[in-house]
Every structure is written in C-alpha cells, then in structure tokens.
Amino acid sequence: MAWPAGVHSAAISQARPRLLSNVVLRQDHSATGGIHPYHAAIWHGSNVPQAVGQALQIAAGPSHGWGASSILMPTKYMDGQSLSPKDIDAIAVTRGPGMMASLSNGMVAAKTLASVWNKPLIYVHHMAAHALTPFFTEESPPAFPFLTLLVSGGHTMLVLAESVQKYQILATTSDDSIGDAFDKAARDMGIPWGGNTAHSNPGAALEAFAAAADITTVQELKEHLRKQKNIALPSAMRGQLAFSYSGLKATVTRAVQALPSDVKTRRALAHLFQEAAVAQISEKLRLVLQRTLDLPIKDVVCSGGVASNSFLRQHLRDTLDAAGKEGTRLLFPPLEFCTDNAAMIAHTGLLFYEQRTHDLSIQPVAKWNLEDL
C-alpha cells in the first residue's frame, strides 16, 4: 500500500511476481496551487478503502497488465480464480518518509487488514522502494553496487546502493527538492495544470511548456539574465556534493516579476529554469563518477516523479557519455512507475519479506533517513 500525499494505491506480492492490476487514485490539487496537507488527509480517508477494494477485485479478474492499482500475484490467478485472504502472505505498507496524516491513514488501513486477516506487516521505506523499482520493472535488474538518483517533490538524493538494505547517501539537498522547485516555478509562471489540462502536476506542465520555447528567445533571455544580478539564474555549485534549489526558486520568482509576461518570454524562462535545475543533477553525478572510480559501477538508476522528465533523462545520458561511461546502463522505471505507486511498495515488501512482523505498534515516520533501514 502506498500513501504519499496525493496518491492512493494498493498492492499484493509474491515470489516471481506478475503485475495483475495497479489502481492509482490521484488527487487534483490544482485549485490550491499544490498539495494541501489538510485536503490530502481528507481525500486519503475516503480514497484508501476504494483503492484497496478495487485492487483486490481487479486482481481476481481475468484482465491484467500495467495500468491504473498494483497487485502482484502468482500466475495461477490469471485464469480468473477468486482471490481470498488465505492467498495473501503479508501486507506491505509505506511507513515513511512523507506527510504524517497521509501515512497514518495508509497504516491504519494496512494494520486493520493485517489484524482481521491475521497477516504479518512489512513496513517499507518510500525512497528505498523508488530505488529498487528496477528490480521489478527490468528483465535484467541493476547489479550492486549501483548509483541511484532519487528525484521527487520531497527528495533530491544521489545514493550508492550497496545491497537491498544498505545505502550510502552521497549527496542530498540542503534546502528544497528539485520537484518542489519545478512545482513552484510552474505556479509562478502561471502554467496551467490539473483539471481539464493534459498534465496532472505542475512539473510535467512546465516540461511541456518549456519544450515549445523559441531557441533564439532562450539565448537572448539567457544573455539578459546574466547582466541582471538579481535575476541571474544560479550555477550548479560546481565541485560541491550537495544540491540546493531555494536560490533557483527565489530567482525565478523575481524574474517572473521583472520580465515581460508574454508567452514567448515565459516559455524561454521555463526552458532556462529546467536547464539550471537539471544541471545540478548532472554536475553531482559527474562528481560522484569521478570519486567512485574504484567501484564496479555498471548501472545508474534514476527514479521518483521527476525521473519522468525527458529533458533530465537525455542530460543524464549525455553526462555518462561525456565521463567515458558509454557502457554504463542508465535505468528509468516506466513512466507510470516513476511517480508514487503501490507496485513498488509491494515488490519492496517481497525483497524485505524476512522483516515481516505482527507488531501493530510501529508508527509512521515523517522523516526517515535512507541509511537507517
């Protein structure tokens, strides 16, 4: 079960899993300009039962595949046999990190099912699930040790994954996340999202908006910004293994106020913002590659909501190639598994199956260091 701030999803898993359903109920926060904790908690309370019910119902049906709820079940259920509690071995649930109200709703639902069905629980770390997603989606999963970029609305981390349960954080943000920066920039520029638009979140809307930018206007605006100290976009902090997006967010806010509000200029600004935001990710990856030359790194994984950004994907590939790592695999989950989903929680529960417990006293944690698994 995955219960981040704006998504409600449920999943079940077994060895050699096959995804039978993936019910994801997303919230539309466009009216409030982003995720509002109170509204998120209210919607979680009403959507959690629906997600669980739909997931169980779809898993027992004859039609399966990657789509909207996450159920991982053995092949014997592919013929439409009914699914019952006795067929479930354990319940995996997101313990953290995240918004406490949303996490609490999900854990209450999971604990209730565990108690009624007498099933053990597996408490899953949200970001570990993102890092391990390729073990579910790839026919040839990454080999340990590998580097993983975790980029989302709440996190920006470059991590060395040494095993399923051991992680070393090489770089993290000192303030805001890249996903938060994308969302804030989109709102500042007035880019429409949610509702009847084609994009369910402001970050995706900004990417599409920037893709239509006029290159000449982009170059002209870049030169103009360089001459204006208060609206010059900050550099990628070369040589430092740390991310920082608060300065970029503040600069974009000032630039929106100072520049003309025509669409052509806004598209160019969106392009330059995206370029600056991604440059940080590329720069830190370059630094880490230099400092881990003695490690047999064959794979780099990028996951989290921002991993769906095609501009980021291309620049990471270019960074690896420029560093002489043409043979290093760059792995991204399918788009539907970049954002929060229960499939990754179910599969991580499978990988952590030995940690299953009947302890119902364990509480959600808003902040949970990935190194403390």
pLDDT digits (tens, 9 = 90+) for 77-130: 444 454 678 878 899 999 999 989 889 988 998 999 999 999 999 999 999 999
Take residue 34 and report the two structure tokens written for it.
């982003």
- SS3 label, residue 133: coil
Q: Say what the pLDDT of residue 285 is.
A: 97
**Residues in contact with 139: Cβ distance below 8 Å, sequence separation at least 6, in sequence order:** none
Q: Say what the pLDDT of residue 39 is.
A: 58
Q: Say what the pLDDT of residue 66 is.
A: 37
Classified by CATH at the fold level, domain 7-133+337-372 comes out as Nucleotidyltransferase; domain 5 (3.30.420)
Q: Say what the pLDDT of residue 68 is.
A: 31
- The CATH class, in words, for 144-332 is alpha beta
The pTM (predicted TM-score) of the whole model is 0.85
Q: Say what the pLDDT of residue 345 is.
A: 93
Strand ranges, E, within 217-354: 299-303, 329-331
Fold match between 7-133+337-372 and 144-332?
yes
- Residues 252-308: tens digit of each pLDDT: 999 999 999 999 999 999 999 999 999 999 999 999 999 887 899 999 999 999 999
Instruction: Give me the residue spans of the domains in the chain.
Output: 7-133+337-372, 144-332
d(CA 267, CA 284) in angstroms, rounded, equals 26
DSSP code at position 175:
S
d(CA 20, CA 41) in angstroms, rounded, equals 28
> Are 35 and 6 a contacting pair, CB within 8 Å?
yes
Number of Cβ within a 10 Å radius of residue 88: 18
β-pair partners for 267: none
Q: Say what the pLDDT of residue 235 is.
A: 82
d(CA 232, CA 226) in angstroms, rounded, equals 5
In this prediction, the residues of the chain whose per-residue pLDDT falls under 50 are 3-8, 29, 63-80, 82
